Copies of this chain bind each other. A is one copy, B any other.
Amino acid sequence: MARVRLAREARERLIVEGAIRFFAEVGFGGQTRELARQLGMSQSLLFKYFPTKQALVDRVYEEVYLSRWNPYWEVLIENARMPLRQRLLKFYSEYAQRIMDYYWIRIFLYAGLLGSEINKNYLDLLRSRIIYKICHAVRNEAGLPSVSDGELSERDLQLVWALQGSILYLAIQRHVYRNLPDEEIDGVIEDRVDAFLKGALSVVGRAAEAPATEETSA
């Protein structure tokens, strides 16, 4: 095999980025020999940079998630000077572009199915920095009184998770089902946001007004 001598950091980046591509394609059950072959290096070299395969997998987790979170989103989403619709359009347009990445969505799902901690951490991040804030904003838009994070009902939060899930579903359609056309994605996202606003504003808080006993009208 052609011996190419690289600096420590350059080789490591090569391995990590190759591992992202490789594991996204075949899952974390993929073999180190096949990964090394795709990278054009010997298999044993991988273990000079990462003591175990799991260490490389963990590195892939971190690389894919934490490095792709934009802290500006948290500021954007609670910027009260911008209309809510505009905030949502801007956020979900950028966010969708980020997660509609072949490697991101597939590794996210593989990691989730494996029960990875990184996956849970990411969702906690999403909930506390985005979902809660959108939920507050929707309640505010609907004229409902302000409450603390803890007072938000699960049903109201689920309204926002539904939007979140429908955006994630775009990525799933494209990179898992492989049947989402390229064109009009911006329009599709705009539709989702507008449909969400119309819908959420009309049902937010209604469970709290008419509690538990739904069957009384029967």
Interface residues of A in 162-204 (CB under 8 A from B): 162-166, 168-170, 172-173, 176-179, 181, 183-184, 187-188, 191-192, 194-200, 202-203
- CB-CB under 8 A from A183, the residues of chain B are 154
A178 to chain B, nearest CB (A): 7
A162 and B155 in contact (CB under 8 A), knowing A112-B176, A123-B179, A176-B112?
A: no
Q: With A154-B184, A169-B169 in contact, do A195 and B162 touch (Cβ < 8 Å)?
A: yes
Question: Please, which residue of chain B has its CB at the minimum distance from the CB of A112?
Answer: B176
Residues of B within 8 A of A207 (CB): 184, 187, 191
Contact with B along A103-117 (1 / 0, CB 8 A): 000100110111100
User: Do the beta carbons of B188 and A199 come within 8 Å of each other?
Assistant: no
Residues of B within 8 A of A163 (CB): 166
| Alpha-carbon separation in the docked complex, A214 to B186 (Å) | 11
Partner of A203, one of B115, B172, B194: B194
Asked if A88 is at the interface of the complex by the 8 Å CB criterion, the answer is no
- Write the nearest CB–CB distance from A131 to chain B, whole angstroms: 12
B27, A177: Cβ atoms closer than 8 Å: no
Identify the closest chain B residue to A197 (Cβ): B199
